[in-house]
Structure 1
Amino acid sequence: QMHGYCNMMQIYWLKLAYISVDSFDGPVQVYGFLAARDILNPRRNYLFNRGRDDPLEIVQDDDWLIQMSSPKRGIEMTSSVLVEFDMRIKIGEKEEDDLQLIDGAVSFSDMDPPINMAFTRRLCGEGGAVDINLAHMYEAAEATIQVRISEACGSGLSLCLTASGSALQQQARLFDGIVGETPCDLGKFVFAVMSLTKLVVLLKVGRGGGSDCVYRFHLFDVQKHGDSTVSFEIPDMVTIEVKVTWSTLDIPDSALEEDNRYNWRKELRSDDDDDDDDYEYDWNDY
């Protein structure tokens, strides 16, 4: 098994492009899922996953941005990547009253341009459309970003955390909200960055409802392995620690051998027994 940079997909943002209903009483509430499947692991790698009882409220003031969750791992793109989705807008008291926004799947080929450039595609459905902004990168690494709020002066701290690559300069919003009790961890965020570039982590910190915000950023060198940590100390407000851990997405060489393909498929299906996802993977799909 070789450890090296590989082709990866990075999805930066999702936006509600339009809906077929003229008006709503209140904010637009979106639920459902959007996920990617790649050759490294055929199971769904979720970027949006909300139930009807916990919809995401999106507003025009935020440019109809759909806040994504972090994927569990980077998206490998040495072969085609399947992005599938089933997203709905909550309207009535019952699910049958809701609007089907988009439902289906689209395949992104590793051979199609543009390469090393962010671009936008529109996913259209019977009830509207969602714009997806993404990039196919040659020679990239996976960055796992961990954020810890170690000290905070007072309550009502607001934080917006974004990540970008110095080469593409397209941002992904990793976190945007009010921080609860401190100290606390905000979780892990996975982001793909091209080799020989920098990972840019930007913090926007303020008080809830206030107009005065403080900005901090740091440039991390892209690596195959290892980690680095930086601490942001904002006087009279907060101390934030950001740790970035680097890794590559490696497919075991043995898994690509003809004699072992069935065994790996069988193992993957066995791992899926506890999952409600009944997709059956076959290397020949690619």
Structure 2
Amino acid sequence: MLRVGRVASDLLRRLSLPPALARRDAPPTLMASNSAHAHPLSHQDRLSRLVYKSWIPCRLISIAHVTTRCLESQNVTTKVDMDLIGCKPIMDQVYCMPVIENSSHRDGAIYKDKSIRPYFWEGDIADRNETQLEPMMFSKATEDCLPVVENCVSHFPQSIFQFFSVQLSKTPISTGPIQLYGYIAARDLRDGMLNYVVNYSRDDPVVVQEGSVIEMTGPKRGIKMGSIVLIEFDMRIKNEMHEEEDQQLIDGAILYYEHICPWKPTTQRICGNYGDIDISVAVVEQALEATIEVVISDVLRGFSLSLSSFVDVMDDYEEIQLFHGTIVQTRALRRSVVGVPWQTMMLLKFKVGNEGCIDSGQIMLQFQAMKHGCASQQIELKVAAISVKVTWSTI
């Protein structure tokens, strides 16, 4: 087992992490750092945004420590009344999202109805190409980073629209798994193009059942919460025979407006003819783009792996599941992009192995949010090695 660094050890003593995908009555929080590079806020100011809580110990395989520098500040947040955008609670903490009229894709209504144009004026709705903007566009510091890279005032954090989870909440087939394909994509005002959050082809559908989480395949880059974000979706249940016999799950588009969006992850339901999809979304303010790259090498035998990111949103750590599957050979996981508030700590939780496996347990890594640069950590297991790289950028 690797030696636990002092900062990581202090974090773990104060952090209580929930089971994967579980909602929390008392979310974990982060203690104030005594870093010499902290912003000169008063001791009282620093404590006012942090809550001390007991921790539940978990078995650690190993943990590495990364040394980075960043500033600390307070976040200013605003709660939103979901009734303002036509959302009505259908159950505790679940809201039904209004789908734009005549926004279906299969029958081409969204392309023919010009009334949707006033809702989203950037780009061409009929253009189905994926966004060409890449993540990490401003990860390298430049001569414009003044006065110094660590305290750059030339590049600013932005509000990022973040998907925390996508779940199949209802399906006509409740007794077993189904094959699901299609997409959920966001269009923002950066280029107006499709930025896929979920994207599965009919030839390679995702197998899920009612109540299970649909693993997200994106976004490709950070989704900027400007004046408006348009979410498009077209998902179907695959039939074993012909595509025309597939059942339409959801099809249409919904809108999110600046200042009329949830600032804490909120479950919102998209209702369809043959089922419902729940999405958990929020605007992460004063955020940076974290690009997470994970490579598993030196695999001696197969093992299960789950990877989640925990992001500090209004002083509560919220979970984003990034990967869940079995590792049988050397491979790189799908690159993940997450919005992280500036001057906070992002946590990555690796859950490794099966019950009875000598390497079973949890590994917790921490990465301090920066405007530019990257940080890497290495995990050594008995069955494999895991390399983790996080690259920071403004958008």
The alignment's TM-score, normalised by the length of structure 2, stands at 0.58
1:228 paired residue among 364, 367, 375: 375
**1:106 maps onto 2:254 in alignment:** yes
Distance 2:304 2:174 in 1: 30
Q: CA offsets, 1:141-164, max 9 Å, x none? A: 000001111323x22122111112
Aligned to 1:73, what secondary structure does the other structure show?
A: coil
1:18 paired residue among 170, 188, 202: 170
Aligned to 1:96, what secondary structure does the other structure show?
A: helix
Aligned to 1:66, what secondary structure does the other structure show?
A: coil
**1:95 maps onto 2:243 in alignment:** yes
Aligned residues of 1:158 and 1:208 also touching (Cα < 8 A): no
Q: Give how far 1:114 is off.
A: 2.8
**1:134 maps onto 2:281 in alignment:** yes
1:146 paired residue among 293, 300, 304: 293
Q: CA offsets, 1:57-116, max 9 Å, x none? A: 0135xx41111102110100122111100001113401121110000000111111432x
1:35 matched to which residue of 2? 185
Q: Give how far 1:198 is off.
A: 1.1
1:274 matched to which residue of 2? none
1:156 matched to which residue of 2? 302
2:110 matched to which residue of 1? none
Q: Describe the shift of the 1:248–1:127 C-alpha distance in structure 2 as closer, same or farther (beyond 3 A).
A: same
Aligned to 2:244, what secondary structure does the other structure show?
A: helix
Going by fraction, where is strand more abundant, 1 or 2? 1
Aligned residues of 2:217 and 2:334 also touching (Cα < 8 A): no
Aligned to 1:71, what secondary structure does the other structure show?
A: coil
Q: Describe the shift of the 1:52–1:18 C-alpha distance in structure 2 as closer, same or farther (beyond 3 A).
A: same
1:189 matched to which residue of 2? 336
Mean alpha-carbon deviation: is it higher for 214-223 or for 165-174? 165-174
Distance 2:229 2:196 in 1: 13
Q: Which residue identity is paired with 2:388?
A: V
Structure 2 unaligned runs (5+)?
1-143, 145-153
Aligned residues of 1:163 and 1:171 also touching (Cα < 8 A): yes
**1:86 maps onto 2:238 in alignment:** no
Q: CA RMSD in A?
A: 2.0
Distance 1:111 1:46 in 2: 23
1:57 matched to which residue of 2? 207
Distance 2:311 2:178 in 1: 31
Aligned to 1:40, what secondary structure does the other structure show?
A: coil
Aligned to 2:386, what secondary structure does the other structure show?
A: strand
2:195 matched to which residue of 1? 45
Runs of 4+ in 1 over 6 A off after TM superposition: none
Aligned residues of 1:225 and 1:247 also touching (Cα < 8 A): yes
Q: Give how far 1:5 is off.
A: 0.2
Distance 1:171 1:144 in 2: 16
Q: Give % identity.
A: 39
2:390 paired residue among 208, 228, 244: 244
Aligned to 1:124, what secondary structure does the other structure show?
A: strand
Distance 2:207 2:356 in 1: 18
Q: Give how far 1:212 is off.
A: 6.8
Aligned to 1:138, what secondary structure does the other structure show?
A: strand
Q: Give how far 1:240 is off.
A: 1.0
Aligned residues of 2:229 and 2:255 also touching (Cα < 8 A): yes
Distance 1:210 1:58 in 2: 26
Distance 1:98 1:210 in 2: 41
Q: Which residue identity is paired with 2:259?
A: M
Structure 1 unaligned runs (5+)?
250-286
1:5 matched to which residue of 2? 157
Aligned residues of 2:174 and 2:209 also touching (Cα < 8 A): no
| Larger Rg computed on CA atoms | 2
Q: Which residue identity is paired with 1:105?
A: A
Q: Give how far 1:207 is off.
A: 4.5
Q: Describe the shift of the 1:23–1:141 C-alpha distance in structure 2 as closer, same or farther (beyond 3 A).
A: closer
**1:214 maps onto 2:361 in alignment:** yes
Aligned residues of 2:180 and 2:235 also touching (Cα < 8 A): yes
